[in-house]
Structure 1
Amino acid sequence: MKSRYNWESIFEGIQSGNRVMLGRGLSLIESQKPADREQAFRLIEACNKDKNIQSHRIGITGAPGVGKSSTIEKLGLEAIKEGYRVAVLAVDPSSSITGGSILGDKTRMPELSASQDAFIRPSAAGMSLGGVSLNTRESILLCEAAGYNFILVETVGVGQSETEVYNMTDMFVCLLLPGAGDELQGIKRGIIEMADLLVINKADGDRIQLAKQSRKDYKNAIHYLRPKVSDWKVNVITYSNLHEDSPVLLLKEIEAFFRYISESKYLTQKRSAQAIKWLDQLLIDEIYRLVFQTQLQSEKKIAEIKQSVERGEKSPHQAVQEIISGLSTGLNK
């Protein structure tokens, strides 16, 4: 079956800054249809050659309710004022029961959505770990090819492995709520270690003093962590969407970080590491695809093996070995 997409016309539209064609391009790379795979591959390769190392790739993480979407909107609007073109890849959690997701980030960023210098793409996280969708890396490339140089990746913030976000962005920003003390012990040390900037959000009203104390506690905590960027001191700031100067300060912190990593060559090293991580993930994805598409391991065969596990006739370990054995046989024919 022939693909309904044409990668060349989509790529031409993306380069011209056509947001509709950018949306079509993202739909193409998200497509699970075999007929679209070749078109998607060619589009990704064209955008990869056109990649922009001057762009800012920023991961925004935080627990549900911390205010990621509202903060991203204010930050995005401030970045546009300073001449950036902003792309937001907002990932919504998928239900483990139905597989569905709300995809409501555009409704939470109405003002930013209306800007001609912004592009917001909600997508479902699916069964992907790390709080990002399977095609987030490719989506970043397409947005950069379209001229967006301030890329914000909003995660689901479910507390799984935020490593995936860290591995595909240049800067990792962690949003936190006021109230450290005992709660500080509940924050995953790994996430704090990965962060390049900590933001105590909702620092307004009767929470101002609590936010200030939280800032002090976090600054004391990160003082004992080894810096992952030589000589860069991770800052902790308080933030409120009710204060006009907060988005200005946040943007300045981000720009200061990018100036530093650009001058220290860390950005180039980071992008190289991102490429290797992308390769590793693509290899895993391709092996997974081969398992389910090889003739020897058809969907019917996989279903039979799963049923034997359900009946207790085989352990999950035995089932996996049988699937892999069949795959190896198919590859060696």
Structure 2
Amino acid sequence: QTLSQHDVVILSDYGKGTLASVQQLIGEAKKAGKKVLIDPKGSDFKKYRGATLITPNWSEFQAVVGDCNSDEDVVTRGLALLVELELEALLVTRGEKGMTLLQPNEAPIHMPTQAQEVFDVTGAGDTVISTLAAGLAAGSSFSEATVLANQAAGLVVAKLGTATISQQELKATLHTLDDMPKGFVTADELDVAITTARVNGEKIVLTNGCFDILHPGHVRYLQQAKDLGDRLVILVNDDASVGRLKGPERPINPLETRAEMLSALACVDWVCAFTEDSPREHICRILPDVLVKGGDYKRIEDIEGHDCVAVAGGATYVLDYVDGCSTTNLIKNIRDTESKR
């Protein structure tokens, strides 16, 4: 009778023995068609098998799956745990690193923390699971409810002691999500923008490169890339990275100029710089729906990050370049012209 009056069941395990019959509770709730959300405790998660979603914190998650040294580890081990426990979703709360939402056959969603200041984390887990429950009960998807929970947690940890947040506080915070950053953005801004796009069902396309001197070949390539999805992300090598890859005389144009030119293209949504020689780490963090590279790659297996994208259910494509259009050729032609003067 009690179950019939509610849409979602929350089981918060504090390790005190109250949830000794947790499997029976899960069974009764599922039989009644109710979602079961569990805030787990301890290193034995098998007792939560069949729940709708569990929300382990970082230490609880690693105690079960082992140490995770990268987002790729979190995704791989989290998906294995999700399958083993027959869950519909798994939400790992990761402190200052935000949250990671995993669902079967869906791209992982990494949400950066929304906390501007942290005064007290007491009750943050309760805030997360209760906000999730409210969102799901109202008809939100897992990703939409997680956005709400992430915002709520960011508000509550900024308060002293065990605190709550009001509906008005949460609404005011959510209004900022309508102002998605565009153009040249930081890695954190990009994560927020991509998360918001995915919550709205948009398909993310990603490519990377130096883009030193923008030419028609680049433009046509990027237009083709955008046609493969809804949002186009460009990871662009910073100046130090270009110098290591192309030689001491490169780049011709500094990062800010290259980013401004790329951002001005109608087909480009976000440009984000990276300093490493390889973009793999960033590709494996973002996990785009589509990864794209230009025609100088003959095999998809040679494209950095293709394996991470494939594991997450995404696709990798090689697009043809425009014959005769290349930055190297442009620089050579300019130098040849100068030498003839």
- TM-score scaled by length of structure 2: 0.28
Specify which structure has the higher proportion of helix: 1
Which structure carries more relative contact order (alpha carbon 8 Å, separation 6+)? 1
Which of structures 1 and 2 has the bigger CA Rg?
Answer: 2
